[in-house]
A and B are shown apart, each in its own frame.
Chain A
Amino acid sequence: MADVSKFIVNLEPMSRQNAISKLVSTNQQSQKHGLVLSERNALQIIDARNEALITTGRIELGFEIINKIIRMFCQSLYINQANYADTICELLAAFYYMKNETREQIGDDDLICIMRDSFDNRCFGSIELLIGRELEQLVAEIRSGRYYGRHDDSEEV
């Protein structure tokens, strides 16, 4: 059987510059909330995303999740310019971790909505609480079959 893992990995460098440009272009929306990413921030986020994918053993073709998380979280009152890039990096790691832990049972958009809701309304901007309490509770609900969806009117990400 063919080993195709190299085939996938080899493609990543080709899209890197393209991804930086795309990330920087999210400034158009985020600067309305006083948040801006430099090229260096963009690179930091891309590296964090790649590391999170490796750590969680996942593959993503394209950079949609970064953009979705930025679009959703740049509106949060708990994020400021000083912690913007670092928070996005931590949210990305939490997102891919949750994709595995929830056994693919929650779609990307729903998961990002849940994360944003918890981050703002129950954790008041604490990423530690989000990961250590809210998301673990969500995992427990899913594994015990008690999860029926938290967002009836999911916000479009």
Chain B
Amino acid sequence: MEKSLVRQTGFNPQNTDAGNYMLSLLDEALLAGLISESALQDIQIQIMELLKDLIIKYTSSESSSIPTETAQNLLLSIFFCMDTFCISSPTPADCLDELMNRSMKEVCQEGLALVKSKVSEAKRLFGEVKSTRIKTSLVAYNSTINEAIPGFFKNYDTAFNAHDTPASIDYPLADDVLDSTGVSYMLQYIERMKIENQFCQRFAEEAIDQLMENYGRVYHIHYPDFLINIFEVVLTNAIFSVMLGEKAANLTIRQSQIVLLRERLKGLESSEAASLLRSAVERTVGELGITDPKIRAYALHCGENLLPRLINAVQQDTLQRLAIPVMGAEPEPEVLFVLGENMDNEAFRRLVEDLLECRNPAEKAQMFLSRVRSLIDFIDIFEADCLFDDDYPALFDLLSDIELSILARIIFADKLRDQPEQFLLSQAISDIPSSEREWVNQLIGFLQQLSKGRQQAIEILLKTKTGIDI
């Protein structure tokens, strides 16, 4: 039916916008002459009536006018429900048929019922996410499961804000959910997180934990504080294990094996690398005994997505940062504040109060360094609004190049990871846009006024510590 519609009328559902489905479908139908202007106007009037009813409900009949922004939100909520109804139709032509023969009130009510059933489904799946959760120190992973997702269920408002996603989801998925909001986003996010958990269940907890520790050592970061996808790290090492002729369940790769792997991959054309990767991914999934079609498809998709990074890593000779090798048992001591313990809440609060009371930047800097022992506390104090303009240079003046490089690495983590060879500190600090975080702007300002010699020294430290010279 769809094909013949395209042929006969030019109606092409491909032109619809997933984020604005119903309206774009109606636009397309109007262009193809499948609906009249007056029918569209009638739909518009019906939707305005729905909005009017919703405004009355929203204001508990107390107000007939509301701020434009609130009205837009209510209307978006109505469209979200209607889109949910439309997307559930088997085909766009079926959907159009329903829209022409049903009242908008019915469409919206049925859409709302579907939204509510998605919430129930998301809650059920979240139960499975919790029962398959990975034991990890990764803060973003734990806070997403412990706080962000439960917070969504607590705050999600199907009646007035169905399109909104009231959750601060930090943990990045290997295949992030795009073009979706509200419960549609959350349902997909939870489904994918469950798949990632189930995949990781094929590996020993200790092996995953060790791999993540090694990841931290390779990148010289305190990995629990960073936004890293565990599944992706695990899948990547499992695939390289298979390439090396080891078992897929083995996540341990030695430095010498990385050298071997690099030699094997070096001369391959892109198409050969793609074929080798595809076959390794398929073998990995097969060896792990993954039969669930959803987990299988997800792992194959994410595995094959590794190709550009694999080709780049071979070309740039940085394979040891894609396949994570076993590192020394103890992390290299970098600097005191990276390895120290975090302050407890009371000590943190007292320090903030003392810093706020102290007026002298030099004394504040001394006080800061004498009491802060961990990088996390360092950053938390920066973000506690207790340091002012002159305080930052006084503090940065007391830091060594290595300590400054550790702070700079937080700012330039992405650049250092993606294209470390091309990284130039002098260029990076002049190109970077102004940040919402004051300490970032202050550090950039401080680095800019350093001599070229010191800038180069910090640049070398940045590159060395991310593994280029390992």
Which positions in A face B, CB cutoff 8 Å?
Answer: 1-2, 4-5, 7-8, 10-11, 14, 53, 57-62, 64-65, 96, 99-100, 104, 107-109
Please choose the segment from B45-53, B117-125, B255-263 that sits at the chain A interface, where 4 or more of its residues have CB less than 8 A away.
B45-53
Are the C-beta atoms of A1 and B63 separated by less than 8 Å?
Answer: no
Consensus secondary structure, chain B interface: helix
What is the CA–CA distance of A57 and B75 in the complex, to the nearest angstrom?
16
Please choose the segment from B65-73, B104-112, B208-216, B277-285 that sits at the chain A interface, where 4 or more of its residues have CB less than 8 A away.
B65-73
Shortest Cβ distance from A103 into B: residue? B67
Are the C-beta atoms of B63 and A4 separated by less than 8 Å?
Answer: no
Contacts A2-B19, A53-B65, A59-B68 known; 10 new A-B pairs at CB < 8 A: A8-B48, A8-B71, A10-B44, A58-B66, A61-B48, A61-B52, A96-B65, A99-B65, A104-B59, A108-B62
Least Cβ distance of A8 to chain B in Å?
7
Query: Which residues of B lie under 8 Å from residue A64 when comparing CB positions?
Result: 64
For residue B23, CB closer than 8 A to chain A, the reply is yes
Are the C-beta atoms of A104 and B63 separated by less than 8 Å?
Answer: yes
For residue B163, CB closer than 8 A to chain A, the reply is yes
Query: Which residues of A lie under 8 Å from residue B59 when comparing CB positions?
Result: 104, 107
Are the C-beta atoms of B75 and A4 separated by less than 8 Å?
Answer: yes
- Number of chain B residues close to chain A: CB under 8 A: 26
Are the C-beta atoms of B67 and A58 separated by less than 8 Å?
Answer: yes
Are the C-beta atoms of A7 and B64 separated by less than 8 Å?
Answer: no
Are the C-beta atoms of A8 and B75 separated by less than 8 Å?
Answer: yes
For residue B239, CB closer than 8 A to chain A, the reply is no
Give 26 A-B contacts (CB < 8 Å), ordered by A residue.
A1-B76, A1-B163, A1-B181, A2-B19, A2-B20, A2-B79, A4-B75, A4-B76, A5-B72, A7-B23, A8-B48, A8-B71, A8-B75, A11-B44, A14-B45, A59-B65, A59-B66, A59-B68, A59-B71, A60-B64, A61-B55, A64-B64, A65-B65, A107-B59, A107-B62, A108-B62
What is the CA–CA distance of A108 and B65 in the complex, to the nearest angstrom?
9
What is the CA–CA distance of A1 and B19 in the complex, to the nearest angstrom?
6
Are the C-beta atoms of B68 and A62 separated by less than 8 Å?
Answer: no
Per-residue 0/1 for B81-92: is the Cβ within 8 Å of any A Cβ (1 yes, 0 no)?
000000000000
Query: Which residues of A lie under 8 Å from residue B65 when comparing CB positions?
Result: 53, 58-60, 65, 96, 99, 108
Query: Which residues of B lie under 8 Å from residue A108 when comparing CB positions?
Result: 62-65
Query: Which residues of A lie under 8 Å from residue B69 when comparing CB positions?
Result: 57
Least Cβ distance of A156 to chain B in Å?
13
What is the CA–CA distance of A100 and B65 in the complex, to the nearest angstrom?
10
What is the CA–CA distance of A4 and B48 in the complex, to the nearest angstrom?
11
Least Cβ distance of B266 to chain A in Å?
47
